[in-house]
Amino acid sequence: MFCEINHKIKLLSNNRTLFILFAALGSLLLINGNIFGQASQPSPTPAPDYEVGGYKLTMNTELGYRYLDVDGSETKYRSDLNYQKGFRVFDSSFLMEGKEAKNGLFDSLLVKTSGWGDDPSGFLRVNMERTGFYRFNTSVRRVQYYNNLNNHALGEHTRNTKHNFGDFDLTLLPQNEKLRINLGYSFDRNNGPGTWTVRAYSDEYVVNNDYDTKADDMRVGIDSKILGFNVSLLQGFRFFKDTSNYNITVPNAGNNTTNTSVLATFNRSFPTTGKTYYTQFAAHRTFAKVFDFTTNVIYSGTKTRSNMLEVITGRDNSNNFIDLDRYEISGDASRPQTRGDFGFTWLATEKLRISNTFTFDKFAINGGEDLFQAAYRRNAAGTPLALSVAKTAAYRVTDYRRFVNTLEADYQFNNAVAAHAGYRFTSRRAEITGYNFNKLTAVNATNPAFITEEEDNQTNTLIAGMKIKPIKNWVIFWDVERGSADNVFTRVENYKFINFRVRSRLTFDKFGLSVSAISKDNTNPTVSDEIPPRQFGADINNRIYTGSFDWNPISELSFSTGYTYQHLTSETAILYPLGTVRLLGISKFFVRDHYAFVDVAARPVNRLAIFASYRISKDNGQNEFSSLPQNFFTSYPIDFRSPEVRVAFRITRNIDWNFGYQYYNYKEKFQTLQNYRAHLPYTSLKIYFGGGER
């Protein structure tokens, strides 16, 4: 296999101009630098600092080219990794530091970039500060998201979008404890093509999707110190918009081509706009170094407005002509919410610490909609059918309130043993009121139909854990949680769970050994909504075992390896319709994943650095099957391997030449349509400027 890989690298490099350019330039500089002749010489003396206008400059930038060759499913490769061939900017940074605090527009300026070019993601970070005056931080990211899988929704849910988002934050008077002013702005843009599915006339159809969302966030706040409390007040505003649409332009027979239903045209626009305002208050103070108090309260209000227009023409599953099937839906909603956290920590003695956190969450969702639908149809002979019209209205008010209180105590027995224990209590209340109204029917005892529901729920959880240090270089942690948790669905019983975790770390001289284990059991008991009711719950058991070993015999050599095994079984009861009978069945999902890695980093000579790694993830899938039609046993057995080699030559004090190769091999057990092998050789030059000795 490695002979084949080496042959492909040579073939690719011989056929690619940019690849040759970087390799030749690196080789030329390598010869001029006489790298091997200087390998045994002492380390270079520190480089002089570079100064411009009273600022010390430190810079490094890495420019390079990555090639790509994919054998097999390119869509699966792009869904997993999405690295493309071409020029890119690797990790780069630029730092200016003022030597005099009162000189210039800023004292320090840091600019960092990574991943720009043909990488699937890239970021830009800028930090600028003038002591006593301001601090400015910004972070901008770009993600190219691609998803096209043939084993999900028949390969009909796809997306190829560009997601750009970032934050800009300015603090005035950053070192002033009495008054600091905070200003901020964030943006989010996500758009691109894709496909989706719609269901109509007892069939399902793939349609084109133009995805387009936007959001802007502006905020202003102050930090201050009042009566010994550190307090913060922030006011924010958020505006968002979704103008995605769905359409087809050619006749579509749907996934079931044996029936008569066909969409000749389809268009759905679903514009949604909204705005949110929020106010956040936080306070913190420590009393006499033994009692610490903190609080954080947020109030927000959100309003949205949506409209949907859907137009269909074609034929239905009764072979009728659909001249026009039109849906118009308009709706609006508001959601005021108040959430607060109040906590304290009390150092009762030098060994005992008690803490309590109380959380309050309350919100209401008020919203309604109006629907109009009209279908103009003709039978197979072309005779017009009766006009089908629907006009309805609906309104809902949801009130939700939740309290959570967590009480914990920590006790330090001695330098070798510490323990903590706690208790968490949750109380929830939900109320739903509203109505459904048919506008085509006269008002009567059942029209509108009023709805009233309410639900109360409480949960209890015990928390415990210890830290044990048998010897100086060996430490053991364990903690456990057992109890019940809120279920998202109010008509279903609480989750009953047991979570246990243990971790051990042993270090001796140049060796390090870590082992850990996580156990999670989650049961959701419930019954089916029928007479007589049947047991209809879910049970999830998850075990994760991890071990790693590190060895650093000398400063020029390091070795690291690790292994993780995940054993998960999810079992859910299902009702399977078989004719007129509903059979009680089981849906099981299995994960039996083995993950291992080996990393080696070496510096054999003064100007040469080598890094090599190998990673493998292999899920063997299920070992349990059923021939009964009401039982579904599934898993996702795969084999994913990724070796990598990176070599860096120091050509001069200011230039490194890097060469690397990444290989990805992905295989699925039961089918080969998504298997792929990807070769990603790359080369780059990294240029350093300033910064003293390297």
For 66-102, the DSSP string reads E--EEEE-HHHHHHHT---SEEEE-SEEEEEEESSTT
- At 676 the pLDDT is 98
Length of the chain: 694
Report the C-alpha gap between 407 and 460 in whole angstroms. Answer: 12
pLDDT means over runs of 10, the chain (694 residues): 40 40 40 35 50 85 94 96 91 86 80 90 95 95 95 92 97 94 98 96 95 97 94 97 94 93 95 97 95 97 96 95 96 97 96 97 96 96 95 96 97 95 96 96 94 92 96 95 81 84 94 97 82 82 97 95 97 86 90 98 94 97 87 94 96 92 95 95 91 51
pLDDT at 332: 96
For residue 81, the one-letter residue type is L
CB atoms within 10 A of CB 124: 17
Q: What is the C-alpha end-to-end distance of the chain, expressed in Å? A: 37
Number of Cβ within a 10 Å radius of residue 503: 15
For 575, other C-beta atoms within 10 Å of its C-beta total: 14
pLDDT at site 169 = 98
As a 3-state breakdown, the chain gives helix, strand, coil percent values, each rounded to 5, of 5, 70, 25
pLDDT at 45 (0 to 100): 43
**Looking at 288-320, which runs of residues are DSSP E strands?**
291-315
**Tokens 């102050």 map to which residue?**
222
Query: What per-residue confidence (pLDDT) applies to 304?
Result: 97
C-alpha closest to that of 118 among 240, 18, 224, 245: 18
Q: Is the peptide bond before 46 cis (omega within 30 degrees of 0)?
A: no
Phi, psi (rounded to 5 degrees) for 628: -75, 140
Given this model, what pLDDT does residue 567 score? 97
Show the CA angle centred on residue 223, arms to residues 217 and 229, nearest 5°: 135
- Asked whether the CA dihedral 309, 313, 319, 320 is positive or negative, the reply is positive
Reported as half-sphere exposure (CB side, CA atoms, 13 A), residue 188 has a value of 11
Strands 608-619 and 180-200: unpaired
Rounded Cα distance, 138 and 134, in Å: 13
311, amino acid identity: V
Q: How far apart are CA 380 and CA 321, in angstroms?
A: 7
Cβ–Cβ under 8 Å, residues 455 and 480: no
Peptide bond between residue 44 and the one before it cis (omega within 30 degrees of 0): no
- Per-residue confidence (pLDDT) for residue 528, from 0 to 100: 73
The reported pLDDT for the residue numbered 529 is 72
Query: How far apart, in whole angstroms, are the C-alpha atoms of residue 605 and residue 610?
Result: 10
How far from the centroid of its chain's Cα atoms is residue 32's Cα?
A: 47
Please report the pLDDT score of residue 593 as a whole number. Answer: 97
What is the structure's pLDDT at 489?
A: 63
Say which residue the tokens 């998803």 belong to: 147
CB 433, CB 397: distance < 8 Å: yes
Residue 536 has a pLDDT of 80
Q: Running DSSP on this structure, what letter comes out for residue 151?
A: T
Query: Do 504 and 474 form a contact (C-beta atoms < 8 A)?
Result: yes
Nearest 5°: CA angle at 573, between 568 and 579? 135
Write out the H or E segment, with its range, that includes residue 2: helix 2-14
Print the SS3 string covering 208-240: EEEEEEEEEEEEEEEEEEECCEEEEEEEEEEEE
For residue 609, how far is the Cα from the chain centroid? 34
Residues facing residue 429 across a β-bridge: 401, 456
Backbone angles phi, psi at 13, to 5 degrees: -65, -30
* Contact between 498 and 474 (Cβ < 8 Å): no
